[in-house]
């Protein structure tokens, strides 16, 4: 059943991605980006990464959609003509894509417990997290105690980005002379 669910979700992700690429309306792209984020959150739920799924749903579908809608509100309605597509950027994209796919052949298979990443600190975290941190959940212990500074850094980055967006939006509403309107 999990294989069927993964196949359906992957198919929906591909369909939404193609629709985003082919969409001409910016509003439609923003709406489909929110759908894409919810589908990714569903994929993460299938893989039992509930904390990451909630973050993806909140940030990807919630905050990002609101910020993109605010940015869309600030843009002009006129669309500039697009230059003819060049072959060189397409060639570079294909070469980079092939190189990335080729580089993944050296990676261990997905889900293997003997992968090198699982032999470094993960055994220590799993065996000692509850005793060393006195937290009843291993995931919470790792995020809050062992990786506390990393988690704090992520919170600071998100907070700083939010402050930056608020300042940009405030600057757009209020000009340099204090009047309402375009800040340019």
3-class state of residue 84 by DSSP: coil
pTM above 0.85, yes or no: no
The closest alpha carbon to 12, from 38, 44, 45, 51, belongs to 38
Report if residue 89 sits inside a domain. Answer: no
In a domain, 57, yes or no: yes
| Residue 170 forms part of a structural domain | no
Does residue 27 belong to any structural domain of this protein? Answer: yes
Decide if 8 is inside a domain: yes
Q: Phi, psi at residue 33, to the nearest 5°? A: -65, -40
Residue 73 lies in a domain: yes
List, run by run, the mean pLDDT of 10-residue segments along the chain (184 residues).
88 95 91 93 87 85 87 77 81 96 87 80 85 84 80 86 84 58 47
Element spanning 77, H or E: none
**Domain total for the chain?**
1
* pLDDT for position 184: 43
pLDDT of residue 172: 63
Q: Which domain holds residue 41?
A: 1-77
Q: What is the pLDDT of residue 118?
A: 77
Residue 182 lies in a domain: no
């Amino acid at each position: 059943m999990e294989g069927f669910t993964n196949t359906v979700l992957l198919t929906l992700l591909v369909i939404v991605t193609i629709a985003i690429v082919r969409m001409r309306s910016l509003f439609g792209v923003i709406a489909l980006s929110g759908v894409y984020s919810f589908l990714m959150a569903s994929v993460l739920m299938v893989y039992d990464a509930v904390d990451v799924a909630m973050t993806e749903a909140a940030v990807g579908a919630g905050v990002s959609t609101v910020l993109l809608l605010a940015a869309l509100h600030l843009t002009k309605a006129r669309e500039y003509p697009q230059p003819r597509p060049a072959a060189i950027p397409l060639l570079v994209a294909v070469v980079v894509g092939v190189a990335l796919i080729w580089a993944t052949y050296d990676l261990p298979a997905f889900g293997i417990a003997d992968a090198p990443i699982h032999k470094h600190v993960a055994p220590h975290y799993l065996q000692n997290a509850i005793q060393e941190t006195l937290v009843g959940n291993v995931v919470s212990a790792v995020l809050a105690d062992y990786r506390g500074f990393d988690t704090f850094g992520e919170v600071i980055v998100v907070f700083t980005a939010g402050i930056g967006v608020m300042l940009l939006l405030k600057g757009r509403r209020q000009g340099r002379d204090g009047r309402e309107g375009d800040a340019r």
